[in-house]
Amino acid sequence: MTANKTAAILIIGNEILSGRTQDINVKFIATRLAAIGHKLEEVRVVPDIPQRIIRAVNELRAAYDNLFTTGGIGPTHDDITSECIAAAFDVPWEKHQPTWDAMEKHLGAENFNEARQRMATLPRGAVPIPTAMTIAPGFSIGNVHVMAGVPRIMQSMFTGLEPSLGQGTPIAMRAVHGIGVKEGSIAAGLSAIQNRYPMLDLGSYPFYRETGGGVAIVAKGTDETALDAAITEAESLIASQDITAIKGEPPV
């Protein structure tokens, strides 16, 4: 066990910014990071523009213990992440011989064209991420971990990467739901609970359903005893409420 490391995600993704694609990588990475005790502290989505990618990589790798990028490592003209990482680290972008040889053997020399050769071209010092799913690698360089954007491939790469990230105290989460409860009525009581458990993060999230709404109270932290105690208090707070049925209107 080590202290909780910090992390950021950089999504290189015109397809997210255009609204064409629903990102699901953040939730996957966030959930896995929490389980191994890393704190995800920022996410950015930037377009496929070199200066924007380079600047974001350099800001985020300086600010957090680990940076995970997704997207832009395929063979087409819009896949520019790998070159940009090399530029961000100010190292040459060059043939990675083991990857080059493996791809050439796997695909056959006649299919290992210029586009595919770009996938075997990595920033100097990059270490490929082991994955069973594709011969074209993601890679780590320094504290930056470069993964595919396609969720299935990203997940395979993250799984390959995970053992090397180190285990911190897992960040646990407990939730209690108050059907019909209004946030504005429990706010003071919830604030008091937060003050009694400063080592936890308490969040309050209203929800709305056709059948009626309510509030989810979520406690998050590494101290399981405190989590159990805080959630018990939150349950009492909810039980103390005089519930009025919610009819359509947000329960402020």
Q: How far is the CB of 13 from a copy of itself (least distance, A)?
A: 9
Closer by beta carbon to a copy of itself, 91 or else 169? 169
**In terms of CB distance, is 39 or 91 closer to a copy of itself?**
39
Q: How far is the CB of 203 from a copy of itself (least distance, A)?
A: 5
Q: Which long-range contacts (CB under 8 A, 24 or more apart) does 58-61 make?
A: 58/88, 60/8, 60/10, 61/88, 61/142, 61/143, 61/144
In whole angstroms, how large is the CA radius of gyration of the chain? Answer: 23
Distance of CA 176 to the CA centre of its chain: 24
- Dihedrals φ, ψ of 215, to 5°? -135, 135
Minimum Å gap between C-beta 238 and a copy of itself is 13
CA of residue 236 relative to chain centroid, distance: 33
CB of 188 to a copy of itself, least distance (A): 6
Cβ 179 to a copy of itself, closest distance in Å?
A: 16
Cα separation, 3 vs 14, whole angstroms? 35
Closest CB to a copy of itself among 67 and 190?
190
CA distance from start to end of the chain: 41
Q: How far is the CB of 85 from a copy of itself (least distance, A)?
A: 19
Q: Is 134 exposed, middle or buried (0-12, 13-18, 19+ CB in 10 A)?
A: middle
Closer residue to a copy of itself in complex, CB, 3/187: 187
Nearer to a copy of itself, 151 or 166 (CB): 151
Q: Of 76, 53, 13, whose CA–CA distance to 144 is shortest?
A: 53
Going through 96-186 in order, the beta strands assigned E by DSSP cover: 121-123, 127-128, 139-141, 144-147, 172-179
